[in-house]
Amino acid sequence: MNYERILKIVEKNKGYITTREVVNNGIERRFLTNMVKKGKLLRISKGYYGLPNYIADEYYKIASKSKNARFSMATALYLHNLSERNPLIYNVTLPYGYSGILQKQKNVNLNYVNRNILDLGVIEMKSPFGMKIKVYDIERTICDIIKNKNKIDGEIFSKALKDYAKNKNKNLSQLTKYAKIMKIEKKVSEYMEVLL
């Protein structure tokens, strides 16, 4: 019965499951271990399992390691189609004081912010594999790259700002609101004046 419940979650997740999901569904962890021993699941990384023919969703794998993980900067630009570079290193924003497993991930670049702006502009999107992840919206991402210009490739930065300026769905009032909250209103307005 527990094996069937695990396989239903795996099916719903399009090929993977996390230890957290198993525990949250009232199933003992040992059932995961047994399924790995029997070859029904593969242990992809700590707390992350997939079907033997499964291709790992790096976005969900990273997001599942912290409920506070928000995809940001160049990674968010890619997810919003403002960059063509598929990330090899994933940009993730977390609150100051975070000390967890993501600090040890070689393919993750962490950015820290105060808790009062952690959820500013956060939205839920689907990863390229179709799983729900938390990402900053376009306006928050534009604010982040302007604020952290020295942490982003110059070519990605310029292209993202130009593409944002051309975007018919841009929300300049939202951008201004975020810039005020993040105390970068002057910087943002200088860039926008040049581009618009």
127 closest CA partner among 13, 2, 22: 13
Handedness of CA 11, 3, 49, 132 (dihedral sign): positive
Q: Which two tokens stand for residue 101?
A: 């497993």
pLDDT digits (tens, 9 = 90+) for 87-128: 899 999 999 999 988 999 899 999 999 999 999 999 999 998
Domain ranges within the chain, ordered by starting residue: 2-56, 62-195
Query: So what's the pLDDT on residue 91?
Result: 97
Q: State residue 122's pLDDT score.
A: 98
pLDDT over 80 at 56, yes or no: no
Alpha-carbon distances of 50 from 13, 36, 78, 85, 177, rounded to whole Å = 10, 9, 25, 26, 41
Q: Is the pLDDT of residue 134 over 90?
A: yes
Q: Beta 132-136 vs 48-50: how paired, if at all?
A: unpaired
Q: What is the CATH number of domain 2-56?
A: 1.10.10.10
Q: Report, as an integer, the average pLDDT of 138-150.
A: 96
In the block, residue with structure tokens 């938390």: 134
pLDDT at 162: 93
pLDDT tens readout for residues 32-54: 889 989 988 988 877 888 888 77
Place of tokens 């810039």: 179
Share of the chain above pLDDT 90, in %: 62
Average per-residue pLDDT for the chain: 91
- For the cut 80, the answer to whether the pLDDT of residue 178 exceeds it is yes
The predicted pLDDT at position 15 comes to 84
The pTM assigned to this predicted structure is 0.81
| Residue 55 zone, left/alpha/beta (φ > 0; ψ -120 to 50; rest) | beta
pLDDT attached to residue 196 = 63
Contact (Cβ atoms closer than 8 angstroms) between residue 74 and residue 156: yes
Are residues 43 and 36 in contact, defined by beta-carbon separation less than 8 angstroms? Answer: yes
